[in-house]
Amino acid sequence: MSPLLEKIYDLQDIHTISKHEQIVLGIIEAIDSGVLNVGDKLPSINEMVAEIGYARKTFVKAYTELKERGLVESKNLKGYYIISKETKVTLKVALILFAFHSFQEDFYNTFRKELGKKYHIDIFFHHNNLTLFKTIMDNISRKYGMYVIAPIQEKSIPTLLKKIPSDRLLLVDRFLKMPNDYSYIAQEFEEITYAKLVELAPSIKKYDTFVLFFKEDTDLPPDILRAFNRFIKDYDVNGKVVENYEANILKKGTVYFSISDTYLWQVLKDARKMEYRIGSDIGILAHDDNIVKEIAFGGITTISTDFEIMAKRAASFVKERNHTQEIIPTYLRQRNSL
């Protein structure tokens, strides 16, 4: 009898564990003791059935759990292979985000903390690039027990994501229409941005012009552009959209709305250089709150969802796998800049 089968048989007398748990724990013990090493091939499911005598579905379930933990990888027509010795990991999670912006860093840090050390997280960034997104999906397919994905809002993406079972996929950040059995924890942009601009209308109308920095074909949500255009029309505001920030573009009597932190820092830098008083000479509105925006220049006014709440909800889904469809609230934090 092989050392691996001995490890599995040694657990048969423990009546508090199920048959599939016996297989999983036996293989884990074989990895921990050095009987199995990275690159070693496991017996096929048919071989396991013949040797041990349990139902085929028992071994399928056991091998699936080992894959979800990131210990085993199945190679088409070649079998199952050990790919990791990190046996303390309960589940291997793929986290796919747009980019490592400050607010997504807040999401990751909270998500990591909530899951704890027993969950292994690999993080990927697609930068709203469709080709890169598809490449990432191809590379991680069937290698993780759970997928937490900030999707590109493009018509071909749902077909791609539906290859992942609904109980293993959570969509975060951006809403994407999927079959009802799929879960999401997202933020809404158009209606909530419009509503918050309406709240700010008295402050915005104190200025001559309202400028939105927005460039299409980027990861900026087009819903915000639609909300901006609706607002300036409905409230008779002199507004315009600027694609790129240029040095010395700032003009007194203007409110600048920046979704991108890159543009925001450039506005703040030039405002200081030109000795403009923020909150009087020019107004500033930003998207996605963080501690720097809370304290810089007496505070920057923001429209932002709570990414810590989103991350906590996402971690809960990964651990409990309860179907959820939730839009996280968005808040207006009015400060010195507007």
In-domain check, residue 12: yes
Report how many domains make up the chain: 3
What CATH number does the domain containing 196 carry? 3.40.50.2300
Question: How far is residue 274's CA from residue 290's CA, in Å, rounded to a whole number?
Answer: 25
Q: What average pLDDT score do residues 13-35 get?
A: 84
Task: Compute the average pLDDT of residues 143-151.
Answer: 90
One domain, residues 143 and 209: no
Which neighbouring-strand residues pair with 183?
A: 170
Is there a domain that residue 14 lies in?
yes
Query: Which residues span the domain enclosing 102?
Result: 91-187+307-329
Average pLDDT over residues 161-179: 92
Q: What is the pLDDT of residue 1?
A: 65
CA distance 209 to 251: 9
Domain identity same for 182 and 214: no
Domain boundary among 63, 82, 101: 82
95 and 159 in a single domain? The answer is yes
Residue 338, CA atoms < 13 Å, CB-side half-sphere? 29
Residues 197 and 277 in one domain: yes
Query: Which residues share a beta bridge with 326?
Result: 185
In a domain, 300, yes or no: no
Question: Would you say residue 16 lies in a domain?
Answer: yes
* pLDDT tens digits for range 92-112: 899 999 887 777 788 889 999
40-54, 200-214, 274-288: range with lowest mean pLDDT = 40-54
Domain end point (choices 25, 52, 82): 82
Instruction: Please say whether the beta carbons of 30 and 40 come within 8 A.
Output: no
User: What confidence tens digit (pLDDT) does each residue in 33-71 have?
Assistant: 888 898 888 988 888 888 888 889 988 888 888 888 888
In a domain, 297, yes or no: no
- Which among 305, 304, 297 is positioned nearest to 337, based on CA atoms? 297
Residue 164 forms part of a structural domain = yes
Same domain, 207 and 273: yes
Q: How far apart are CA 278 and CA 267, in angstroms?
A: 10
- Whether 55 maps to a domain, the answer reads yes
Q: Is 245 inside any structural domain?
A: yes
Residues 44 and 116 in one domain: no
Domain co-membership, 181 together with 313: yes
Please tell me whether residues 171 and 232 are part of one structural domain.
Answer: no
Q: Looking at the structure, tell me whether residues 265 and 248 fall in a common domain.
A: yes
Q: Are residues 138 and 278 in the same domain?
A: no
Q: What is the domain-level CATH number for residue 74? A: 1.10.10.10
Query: Sheet holding 301-305: strands in order across?
Result: 239-242, 209-213, 254-258, 282-287, 301-305, 330-333
Residues 242 and 171 in one domain: no
Helix (H/G/I), strand (E/B), else coil: 9: helix
* Mean pLDDT of the 294-300 span: 91
Predicted confidence (pLDDT) per residue in 229-247, tens digit = 999 999 999 999 999 888 7
96 and 78 share a domain?
A: no
